[in-house]
Chains A and B, each alone.
Chain A
C-alpha cells in the first residue's frame, strides 16, 4: 500500500512515520512512485505504536524490536529442528 493508506491504517502522522523510517524502525520498499508498505510493515508499525502507548520510550523501542526479531528467528529455527526430528523419526 502507499504512504497515505498506510498512515490511515496505522493512525499515525506523516512526521511520526518519517521519524520512524529515519530511525530505521521501518524500512518500506522504495520504487519510482514513493514508498510502498507491506502487511509486515503495518503489523510492525502497530506494534511500535502499542509499545509507545505502554510508555516505552524511543531509546528502548529499537532494542525491543531487535529482540523480537531475534526471538522470531530462534522460534523459526526451533520449529525447523523439530520438523527435522519428526521426519527423521518417521524414517526409522
Chain B
C-alpha cells in the first residue's frame, strides 16, 4: 500500500478515531470480497482499505505514522483466502436452500436427472441427532450406538472428556449425495446427564466427602470415588468441614493426555447414634476456642 492511508479511507489528517472507524466500516461493507463474490476488483481495494485501517485505527501506529517514524508500506495484511474462495467446495456450511423451490423446474430436473453422467454432483444433506450420555461415559469416552428412525444403527466414538452440548460430526454419515456427490454428515449433539456424586466444572471434578469426626480431628485415610475408580486419600489432622483437598490428575481427560483435577470438599459427620462417652468427653473439654471466632455470642445465641 503505497498510497496515503488517509486518502484511501477518505478522511482528513485530523480525523477523530470515531470518524476513521466510520469511514472504514462504510468502505468495508461495500468492498469486502465475501460480500462481493463476483467482483474481483473488490479484493484489491478492500486490501488497501484494511491496511489503511490497520494503521490509522491503532492510535499508537497512527501516531508513529504521523510523526514519520513508519511509512505506509509493509502494512499489507498477510491475508489467507476469503470465504468465497471455498464457495464451490463441499463444506458443512453449503446451503442449497436458495433454489429449493425450483426442484420442480423442468430444466433443473433435467440437469439433476443427467447428473449420472458426472457433470453435476451435489453433496447430500446433513442429518441431526441427539445422544444422551451418562456422566461417566462422557468423562471416560468410548463407543456409543444411535438407533436411527429406519432401525439401522450408527456407531459414535465419544472422545474422553466430551462436554454437554458438543456437536460431533460424522463425515459421510448423512443423506446420500446427488449424482454421485459425496454424502452429507451426521451431526450428533451430545447431552450429558448429571451425576449424583460428581459435579463437573470445566476440566475439574468436584465431590463432597463425608468424613468421621475421628478422622477430622486425628487425620486418617478415606476411600474417595473418582471417575476412574476409588482412590485412597490422606486427610490431614484437624480438617474442618469445607476443607478442599485436591486429587491431582483425577479429573476430566483433556485432549493430548493430561487430565483436570478432582476437588474433594470435606464434610465432618458426628456419629449417627448418640454416644454417651463422646458427650462426656466434650463436656470435660475446657477449650474456650469453639471455632466460631466469637461470632456465636455476637449473634445473640
Contact = CB atoms under 8 A, between A and B. Distances in A.
The B interface is mostly helix, strand or loop, or mixed, namely loop
Interface in A1-38: 9, 22, 27-34, 38
B120 interface: yes
Contacts of B86: 39-40, 43
A27 B114 CA distance: 32
A84 interface: yes
A77 B120 CA distance: 9
Contacts of B157: 32
A44 B85 CA distance: 10
A56 B290 CA distance: 60
Interface in A52-92: 53-55, 65-66, 68-77, 79-81, 83-84, 87
B81 interface: yes
Interface of B: 24-25, 28-29, 32, 34-35, 37-38, 79-89, 91-99, 107-108, 111, 114, 119-120, 141, 157, 159-160, 165-169, 171, 187, 255-256
17 contacts: A9-B80, A27-B167, A30-B166, A46-B82, A50-B32, A65-B93, A68-B34, A68-B35, A70-B97, A72-B88, A73-B99, A75-B38, A76-B87, A77-B96, A79-B88, A84-B119, A87-B119
Nearest to A64: B35
B37 A75 contact: yes
